[in-house]
Structure 1
Amino acid sequence: MYAGVTKPMLQLVLAAVLMFVVFRAASAKRAMVPNRLQFAGEAMYGFVRNSMARDIIGSRDFMRFVPYLFALFFFILLNNLFATIPFIQFPTFSRAGMVYGLAALSWVIYNVAGINKHGFVGYLKLQTVPAGIKGPMLLLLVPLEFMSNIVVRPVTLALRLFANMLAGHLLLILFALGGEYLLFEAAGAVRPVGLLAWLLFIAIAFLELLVQFLQAYVFVLLNAMYISGALADEH
């Protein structure tokens, strides 16, 4: 059955288009003395390149993953910021299916990177057999390491982003609608509580801006850590 196009689907497309337009414009007329747009674009690129890709993955292998991490960070950030942009006001990644799609893509990328470097068997051993452990203890640790490093990682990666975006959105709705009800519908004695609820709504909205940035940062940082672990020579 055809379900139609949903608002989160349109937001994903909008985020991709906005990213392409802004960063294409920032890099179209590069100069030794950059204009404001070029300077902003280079600063954002440098933030992801240096603080997440190079520092986490290492100077030998990081450059080939910078385009992915850069696009991933700003794609997630922009979709998170949609929650506070007027007339949109919906975090795209409060829909679990959207987040698990990103997590699945990340899972493929860091596992393929590890397999390309170590081979399938070597990579599987790297991810499931702790260094220095021998004997019967491996019967317990190998299944645990397999579940933790191969199976559970993409689930927890997605769940963290999804839960934070959903919880923040619900909290804003609670204080906004609750404040409106108390101010205009409830008895006079509790109306001042509605004003307090609206003040808390404003404070939480500013806090959500920080959360939206941090969740994009953490998602990409963990991706860089997983890539680094996949390329490492020892688990």
Structure 2
Amino acid sequence: MTGIIHVIGALASAGDEEGVTEGGYTAPGPAEFDLPPLFHIGSFEFTKPMAQLFLAAILVFWFFWAASRNRAMVPGRLQFAGESAYGMVRNSMARDIIGSHDFMRFVPYLVALFFFLLVNNLFGSIPGIQFPTFSRASMAYALAGLSWVIYNYVGIAKHGFLGYLKLQTVPSGVTPFMYPLLVPLEFFSNILVRPVTLALRLFANMLAGHLLAILFATGGLYLLQHTAALTKPVGAVAWLLFIAIAFLELLVQFLQAYVFTLLNAMYISGALADEH
């Protein structure tokens, strides 16, 4: 099953089978996200989430290329949309957080990161796709790993390895007596845990939201089709909640892309700062 419609269709087509009517409703779980590969190249499996990563990259590249190729003093609709999208990330995340001195060299990365995340998240609500790419943990952790490499590289390049390590692990204004307690905690928090929490937040929100939508959609359908008349209104309410969750997911998909990019800007800013 590759999305909510596929799950609903499978449940509906099984409605006349004895196992569904007698065995009861089987709630969806994490297995719904274990999609079969689209095709094999030797031992390599090309999956739907991988295809979505490529598609999202192409769509983001095409949008900004199309918006900027015929630039004019009086922008058209597409140029205006591209400039507004670029300006939102440039001004509200890059410049305001990293600072006016260093922010410009990170704008391309942050703009690409935000819209790449946003498109992949919105795939969970697009009919025919209906699968949020980053509901697969490996995808989220790979992107968080890239972020970890970038902000640590930036900090080491500016302060040197030992200087950056001191910046991230030794709090200012603390007596050396407290170092044995605080330095390991700071190292664990600032160096090791950041990419884990960064990825976990994105992955968990995408997985939980999509799973909740499937639950209300298929559960409501089951109540409407296979239960007594007294409980059918509950199925109708479940479907109304499914519609509400679908709209709420659009907000969550945007917010998760925004928060992930915002935290990247904050980590870069912290790596460039002269004091911890």
Distance, in Å, in 2 between the alignment partners of 1:135 and 1:172 is 52
SS at structure 2 position matched to 1:15: helix
Moved over 4 A (4+): none
Instruction: Choose from 41, 58, 66 the match for 1:17.
Output: 58
Q: TM-score, normalised by structure 2?
A: 0.84
Instruction: Choose from 198, 201, 214 the match for 2:255.
Output: 214
Distance, in Å, in 2 between the alignment partners of 1:64 and 1:110 is 13
What is the deviation of 1:3? 4.6
SS at structure 2 position matched to 1:175: helix
What is the deviation of 1:135? 2.2
Who is 2:72 aligned against? Answer: 31
What is the deviation of 1:134? 2.2
Gaps of 5+ in 1: none
- CA deviations on 1:21-67 (whole Å, 9 max, x unpaired) are 11110010000000000000000000000000000000000000000
Distance, in Å, in 2 between the alignment partners of 1:63 and 1:3 is 39
Distance, in Å, in 2 between the alignment partners of 1:100 and 1:216 is 14
Distance, in Å, in 2 between the alignment partners of 1:70 and 1:19 is 10
Q: How does 1:26-65 map to 2 (within 5 A)?
A: 26-65=67-106
Distance, in Å, in 2 between the alignment partners of 1:114 and 1:95 is 30
Who is 1:94 aligned against? Answer: 135
Who is 1:73 aligned against? Answer: 114
Who is 2:228 aligned against? Answer: 187
Who is 1:234 aligned against? Answer: 275
Distance, in Å, in 2 between the alignment partners of 1:62 and 1:135 is 34
Matched, 1:149 2:190: yes
SS at structure 2 position matched to 1:136: helix
Who is 1:103 aligned against? Answer: 144
Amino acid corresponding to residue 158 of structure 2 in structure 1: K
Distance, in Å, in 1 between the alignment partners of 2:129 and 2:137 is 18
Greater alpha carbon shift after TM alignment, 186-195 vs 102-111: 186-195
Matched, 1:161 2:185: no
Instruction: Choose from 153, 156, 161 the match for 1:120.
Output: 161
Distance, in Å, in 1 between the alignment partners of 2:267 and 2:49 is 27
Percent of aligned pairs with the same residue?
77
Instruction: Choose from 116, 124, 127 the match for 1:83.
Output: 124
Larger radius of gyration: 2
Distance, in Å, in 2 between the alignment partners of 1:62 and 1:80 is 26
Q: Report the aligned-residue RMSD.
A: 0.8
SS at structure 2 position matched to 1:83: helix
What is the deviation of 1:7? 0.6
- CA deviations on 1:118-156 (whole Å, 9 max, x unpaired) are 011100000000001122210000000000000000000
Gaps of 5+ in 2: 1-41
Distance, in Å, in 2 between the alignment partners of 1:87 and 1:200 is 21
Distance, in Å, in 1 between the alignment partners of 2:176 and 2:262 is 35
Q: How many residues align?
A: 235
Amino acid corresponding to residue 167 of structure 2 in structure 1: L
